[in-house]
Amino acid sequence: MAAPGTLTPDTPAHTVDAFHRGRFWLVQPSRGGHRAGMDAMMLAAAVPSGFCGQVADFGAGAGAAALAVLSRCPAARAVLVERSAEMAAFAAATLAHPGNAHLGDRASALTADVTLTGRARIAAGLADNFFDFVIMNPPFNAAEDRSTPDALRREAHVLEDGLFESWIRSAAAIVKPRGGLAVIARPEQLVAILDALEGRFGDAEMLCVHPRPDEAAIRIIVRARLGARGKLSIRPPHILHGPSGNEPTERTEMINNGLASLFGD
């Protein structure tokens, strides 16, 4: 489902796409950069349905995950944090789109590097102990997995050394005590995520995402709370498709359309 673009004529090629069955719209690049899909919807679904605080979306891109949280949680507010000036412009266009007018007063876009520390991070607009929840969909592909000549797409997809440590360190600084964190990544990155959580976030829950019941996981979603002491628990997996064919399972369809939370809360 798509609608005409709302950006100025000199804006790079883009599409305007409906999510949550038309409950919000995303202005995103049609070539280059990152185009949002199921990962963003699953990440947003890691936020509890009754959430009513302020969420920061690290690496927000055009804003899909943050707006999906607002669409499902009517009392939530969001800041879309994006380092790339090009993608931040798409995020601003998303918030300005007429189809998102009902969400506009609950969201804002911030161009900032989430790896900044101390005073530099605060000066960039990410204050200490301000947010109730941080969600992050960082670039998690190895360089050899996603070789592309497009610089904007490479920045959005390719993992940098120490990324999880720096992003989760910043999340720990800006969330309030007992505030939440959710991150989506590949299964092989679990150790790096758990190492970065150590001494910061606890009560961690991990959920594996499998294409089909008999296939290996392709994503993990890890959720935790700042300052909590509980150990890691592994939740029942999420299965995207049935045993055969490409039709999504009923639960996948509900999560994609903002009708259910991923962790059942």
Section 41-50 average pLDDT: 97
Indicate whether 69 pLDDT > 90.
yes
Give the list of residues 6+ apart from residue 95 with CB closer than 8 angstroms, or none: 63, 80, 103, 104, 107, 108, 109
> How confident is the model over 170-227, as pLDDT tens digits?
999 999 999 999 999 999 999 999 999 999 999 999 999 999 999 999 999 999 999 9
Q: Look over the chain and give the mean of its residue pLDDT values, rounded to a whole number.
A: 90
Give the helix, strand, coil percentages of the chain, each rounded to 5.
30, 30, 45
Section 79-102 average pLDDT: 94
pLDDT for 127 equals 97
> What does the block give as tokens for 204?
């961690």
pLDDT for 245 equals 81
Indicate whether 155 pLDDT > 60.
no
Indicate whether 9 pLDDT > 90.
no
CB 240 within 8 A of CB 211: yes
CB 72 within 8 A of CB 44: yes
Indicate whether 32 pLDDT > 80.
no
pLDDT for 30 equals 82
> How confident is the model over 96-142, as pLDDT tens digits?
999 999 998 999 999 999 999 999 999 999 999 999 999 999 986 55
Q: What stretches of the chain adopt beta strand conformation (E)?
A: 2-3, 14-19, 24-29, 54-58, 77-82, 107-111, 131-136, 175-185, 201-210, 219-226, 233-234, 238-239
The one-letter amino acid at 97:
H
Q: Give the model's confidence band at 145: pLDDT under 50 very low, under 70 low, under 90 confident, else very high.
A: low
Three-state DSSP state, 118: helix
Q: How far is the C-alpha of 83 from the C-alpha of 219, rounded, in Å?
A: 24
CA angle 10, 11, 15 (to 5 degrees): 135
Give me the residue label for tokens 């999504």: 248
- Number of alpha helices (DSSP H) and beta strands (DSSP E) in the chain: 8, 12
Q: Give the model's confidence band at 35: pLDDT under 50 very low, under 70 low, under 90 confident, else very high.
A: confident
pLDDT for 179 equals 98
Section 62-81 average pLDDT: 97
Query: Quick check: pTM over 0.95?
Result: no
Three-state DSSP state, 13: coil
Q: Give the model's confidence band at 82: pLDDT under 50 very low, under 70 low, under 90 confident, else very high.
A: very high
Which of 13-17, 73-77, 79-83, 137-141 is least confident? Answer: 137-141
Other beta carbons within 10 angstroms of residue 188's beta carbon come to 10
Section 237-245 average pLDDT: 92
pLDDT for 4 equals 41
Query: Does the structural domain 2-256 have CATH classification 3.20.20.70?
Result: no
